[in-house]
Chains A and B, each alone.
Chain A
Amino acid sequence: MSSTQSFRLASESGVGSQIDCDKPLSFIFNGKSYPGYAGDTLASALLANGVDVVNRSFKYSRPRGIVAAGAEEPNAIVQLGSSEAAQVPNVRATQQTLFDGLTARSTNGWPDAQRDMMGLIGKLGGPFMPVGFYYKTFKAPASMWLTYEKYIRKAAGLGRAPTESDPDIYDHMNRHCEVLVIGAGPAGLMAALAAASSGVRVILCDEQPVFGGSLLDSAETIDGMAAFDWALDAVERLAALENVTLLPRTTANGYFDHNFVTLHERRTEHLGDTAPTLDGRRQPRSRLHRIRARHVVLASGAHERPLVYAGNDVPGNLVAGALSTYIRRYAVRPGKRLVLSTTNDYAYRTALDWQNAGGEVVAVADARANPDGELVERAKAAGIRIISGSAVVEATSDRKGHRVNGARVAAIDIEGFRVSGEVELLNCDTVATSGGYSPVVHLAAHTGVRPVWRDDILGFVPGQTIAAFEGFGVVGAAAGVYAAAGVFESAVTQVKRALASDGIDAEEVQIPIVETFREGAAVAMYQVPHDKPTMRAPKQFVDLQNDVTAAAIELATKEGFESIEHVKRYTAMGFGTDQGKLGNINGMAITARCLGQTIPQTGTTVFRPNYTPVNFGAIVGRHCRELFDPERYTAMHQWHVEHGAKFEDVGQWKRPWYYPQKRRERADGKLESMHEAVVRECRAVREKVGVLDASTLGKIDIQGPDAREFLGRIYTNGWEKLAVGKARYGLMCKDDGMVMDDGVTTCLADNHFLMTTTTGGAAAILEWLELWHQTEWPELEVYFTSVTDHWATMTLTGPEARNLLSELTDIDLDRDSFKFMEWREGIVAGVPARVYRISFTGELSFEVNVQANYAMQVWEALFDHGEKYGLTPYGTETMHVLRAEKGFIIVGQDTDGSMTPEDLGMHWCVGYNKPYSWIGKRALTRSDTRREDRKQLVGLKPLEANVVLEEGAQIVLDPKQAIPMRMVGHVTSSYYSPTLEHGFALAVVKGGHKRLGEKVYLPMPDGVTHVAEVVGSIFYDPKGQRQNI
């Protein structure tokens, strides 16, 4: 045994069930190396080494030590990680298993927790930092908040995120079971045994590395065995069953609707700060189990409640049960002389454990006038001094506040909330308290159940379950049942009831025989009165993590905060990663006292997921980097990559944006800028021929005898007369008359159409068609199938398009036999194809559609033949410029869900006289859609040729008016046109259709005001002759 572990008990003592003294480890805390043993937690190893100060407090920067032994620990929050990439914030030292080389730092404290400079501020500023300090101090001027905040955040905060990428991998798993048991203490083990015997699928999880819960600290016997051995045996029996899944180191963090529970399983965090490989393979650091359970049995136990007294935050103050845990599990007795302050019998176990471990119990201050339970008798028999009707009113400390050096004990009047006798100062180094137990109701609260106060157990238990959580039950200490016999009974009863509701008879399970002992009644006490009033007494902490004091709560109530939810927000009690595990009930009790109410009248705040912090890696799982979102590629994607395309994300699609070429005129071989590439690509289309990969356009195959009727109802324009072989542009509105999508639909056969949609809108439009068909017009016989991925589309456009395509196809491309807005079927480059003569550029265009798996061959054949025609691939940027020159809108760019077809100047696309009142028609005659000052689509031509207006720039009519100016519209699309050698834009302007020729102004943030002329939205070839050559 290392000499530095001076608080470790000798191995002959028979305690220390969790540690292996034959496996020494070393770890680094705040830069200093310490020894420990395999099986230790970071907390137990720190205590063994006598490290009292493990952190500085959040607000006042006070030295803080370890208070508890589990998830409820508020102080020992550390930053883990030996390298930058391995940094993990917010780790509770009490939950972190020790491994060799573990490196941890205190979360707060600079330069470290021992020698803290912020503490100076804490000491100076402490008295001047009342509740609501930040709200009150930094509220004005509002504009300065951003400045204050930066510094406040730096000084506060609980840890930091790593700046390097996480090297580990994380998994998600979906699971199903009939019975999920949360917590593997006596109640959980019993519930799992009972459920497993029926053969149904059972999952049992516990946040600790070893199952057993309170049994691991217990001196009781079960079925004649030591409690610890009974737990081991139960786990062995469960592990042998195929229908049982055991998940240690697994926290149930959230309980969501319809019995959906998320479990966070830490698989390697006890092995290293990054996951070691297993058989040469990477293994996931943690798993997030997504469980849909038929029944959920909550056996989450209870947290011991500390008392609230002066000086209760000095290192050396612990909750009583934690001392038993450290002694029994880890063979650590973190002090020599103990004073215990209690309101109940259970804490006497700690006094006995301390004494058995060779420590001195100076006294037990029992708040009850006549404590007489069996455990009390045992303590008396062991010669322990019991001071009844009293409590520790204050823990005193050394000058630095680094360790308790005494306890001031006094007779108290609980009812009158006052010290009623002389104060006696007892010399000690450890103060342990117990104010009873708080059932861990967090997960039950996630379901929306409000906890219910029970006077008999002095705690909140989960209220009645609600319907969306059918099959939910709470057992054991979580339900306020503490005596072992009752715990086992409650578990078996609940499981039987749950399975019976499914018609399953659980086999009779033997309920273990346990020793019972006579228990004395507990007394209700939360805050201990001090000889000075609360506001003047030394700080009495309620929420140690958020530095909330009893005085702060009292002040909050005096300032008028009456709702517990308001008190919580004003004081920050129960905030953040702590979620009020230790302090909430005490806080509510103090609020109740200050308001002269009962605790049930005060009520609880709402506990929210997650129960303990979950790292982002576990939440994200494999959905990161290249798997963050699916990427969709067209059939020609590889060609685009090989030809240097820059890509643009359109929905999930990767579309070629532009194809920068090496600049021939420059020796440095640098690539073209986007502007240069777009100018070149635009010229190629307008002068020769270009090709666009348009495969991403949504394609919906529509069939059925009523397909034509359906199109007529869903589109604004008419479809009755569209003949086989012809295509038509269509506008789609919502029933409010606003344009939602557009595209070309072709008639393939009399009852067969192919609709194209915008790239991003494909899935939504399919759902839209189904909505109307299924909900309003089920009598129409029509079927919709998405064929977006089945077809690849190549848009061949430019004056040379016909010459090029004619080399590759048997289709007659003559302008008079294959007219504009028609389609033909034939062979292109040896492949069956549908060719459409439609145009989104204004030039002569052929859209070649082939089965996607043939597309690359056709695309390459186009280029084999295309060089002599100057065939140039172009991307979405050039497409945008070319279409905008023609005034073709892009839904979602030039429209925003508030534009009618008429606002867009597209009356020509509206079938006012169609027999059926198609979707959107009625709304077009509502008074609002008839307003003349609606924003209408127009063209804008900047007065200066080289100005490209900013998309989104606001438009005003009078540039000299005072700010805020009256804005009458904004720019929706804006580009430089190589063809016009001029900047140009599309914009929406109030009453714009009547403003043609007027000048408008665009004031920019840099002080420049652009001037533009309102023009028609078609900038190029207004008569549409070029597409018809």
Chain B
Amino acid sequence: MFHIYCPYCAEYREEEEFHPKGQAHIARPADPTATSDDTWGEYLFFRDNPRGVHHELWVHAVGCRKFFNITRDTRSYAILETYRMGDQPSVTAESMILAERDAECGVTSTATMQGVPS
């Protein structure tokens, strides 16, 4: 049972209020007619299934009805960040690697948990 911070309601709510809608940041090709069958098929059917950081689209279905994004670690199920539609994630697989490297070097990272007040 996830505890999800809705970036529009600005509150933590129970998972039951939300629906997952798959991978986030999949843009519909701007000019579908100029898109090849392969590219269109890629857009329609192919999704990432990473072990680790994953950006997902969710909707606060029985709350504010707003769509938003969750960055989640598929290994631990930790939610690293939630952010509004149109925003870009501040936590990514790359930033996590950098943060881990920094942590090894004794540098404290401020990149995690942004937008998720505790």
Contact = CB atoms under 8 A, between A and B. Distances in A.
A467 B41 CA distance: 36
Contacts of B2: 257-258
B85 A922 contact: no
B21 A771 contact: yes
Nearest to A501: B118
B112 to A, nearest CB: 9
A897 to B, nearest CB: 13
Nearest to A784: B65
B57 A260 contact: no
B86 interface: yes
A646 B9 CA distance: 43
Which residue, B32, B43, B86, has most C-beta atoms of chain A within 10 A? B32
A735 B1 contact: no
B88 interface: no
Contacts of B73: 467-468
Interface string A254-289: 001111100000000000000000000000000000
Contact of A256 (B1, B67, B80, B86): B1
Interface in B55-93: 57, 59, 61, 65-67, 73, 76-80, 85-86
Interface of A: 256-260, 290, 292, 448, 466-468, 470, 502, 735-736, 767, 770-771, 774-776, 778, 917, 921-923, 926-927
Contact of A922 (B40, B77, B78, B80): B40
30 contacts: A257-B1, A257-B77, A258-B3, A258-B79, A260-B1, A260-B3, A292-B3, A292-B14, A466-B76, A467-B73, A467-B76, A467-B78, A468-B73, A468-B77, A468-B78, A468-B79, A470-B78, A736-B44, A767-B61, A770-B59, A771-B67, A775-B85, A776-B28, A922-B33, A922-B40, A923-B40, A923-B44, A926-B40, A926-B41, A927-B37
A774 B78 contact: no
Contact of A466 (B37, B61, B78): B78
Contacts of B31: 917
Given A257-B1, A468-B78, A923-B44, A778 B85 contact: yes
Interface string B1-33: 111000000000010000101000000100111
Given A258-B1, A467-B73, A774-B66, 20 more contacts: A256-B1, A257-B77, A259-B3, A260-B1, A290-B1, A292-B3, A292-B14, A466-B76, A470-B78, A735-B44, A736-B44, A771-B21, A774-B67, A775-B85, A778-B85, A922-B33, A922-B35, A923-B40, A923-B44, A926-B40
**5 nearest A-B residue pairs (beta carbon):** A467-B78, A922-B32, A258-B3, A468-B78, A260-B1
B65 A770 contact: yes
Contacts of A290: 1
Nearest to A777: B28
Contacts of A448: 76-77
B30 to A, nearest CB: 9
Nearest to B84: A774
Nearest to B80: A467
A512 B44 CA distance: 65
Contacts of A260: 1, 3
Contact of A775 (B65, B67, B76, B118): B67
Nearest to A258: B3
A713 to B, nearest CB: 11
Contacts of A466: 76, 78
Interface string B34-53: 01010011011100000000
Nearest to B26: A775
Contacts of B80: 467
A756 B116 CA distance: 39
B26 to A, nearest CB: 9
A778 B76 contact: no
Q: Give the interface size class of chain B.
A: 20 to 34
B85 to A, nearest CB: 6
Interface of B: 1-3, 14, 19, 21, 28, 31-33, 35, 37, 40-41, 43-45, 57, 59, 61, 65-67, 73, 76-80, 85-86, 118
A775 B37 contact: no
A279 B93 CA distance: 60
Contacts of A256: 1
A257 B76 CA distance: 9
A736 B45 CA distance: 9
A257 B65 CA distance: 23
B85 A926 contact: no
Which residue, A256, A767, A775, A917, has most C-beta atoms of chain B within 10 A? A775
Contacts of B41: 926
Contacts of B1: 256-258, 260, 290
A621 B67 CA distance: 32
Contacts of A468: 73, 76-79
A256 B44 CA distance: 33
A735 B78 CA distance: 31
Nearest to A290: B1
Contacts of B43: 735
Nearest to B73: A467
Nearest to B24: A775
Nearest to B30: A917
Given A448-B76, A917-B32, A778 B86 contact: yes
Contact of B67 (A257, A502, A770): A770
Contacts of A922: 32-33, 35, 40
Contacts of B65: 767, 770
B77 to A, nearest CB: 4
Contacts of B3: 257-260, 292
Contacts of B35: 922
B19 A767 contact: yes
A770 B8 CA distance: 15
A1022 B69 CA distance: 50
A926 B37 contact: yes
A56 B94 CA distance: 58
Nearest to A503: B118
A259 B80 CA distance: 15
Nearest to A766: B65
Contacts of A258: 1-3, 77, 79
A921 B35 CA distance: 12
B59 A767 contact: yes
A290 B16 CA distance: 13
Which residue, B1, B31, B61, B73, has most C-beta atoms of chain A within 10 A? B1
Contacts of A926: 37, 40-41
Contacts of B45: 736
A256 B14 CA distance: 12
A740 to B, nearest CB: 14
Contacts of B14: 292
Contacts of A470: 78
A346 B73 CA distance: 43
Nearest to B33: A917
Contact of A771 (B32, B59, B79): B59
Contacts of A292: 3, 14
Contacts of A923: 40, 44
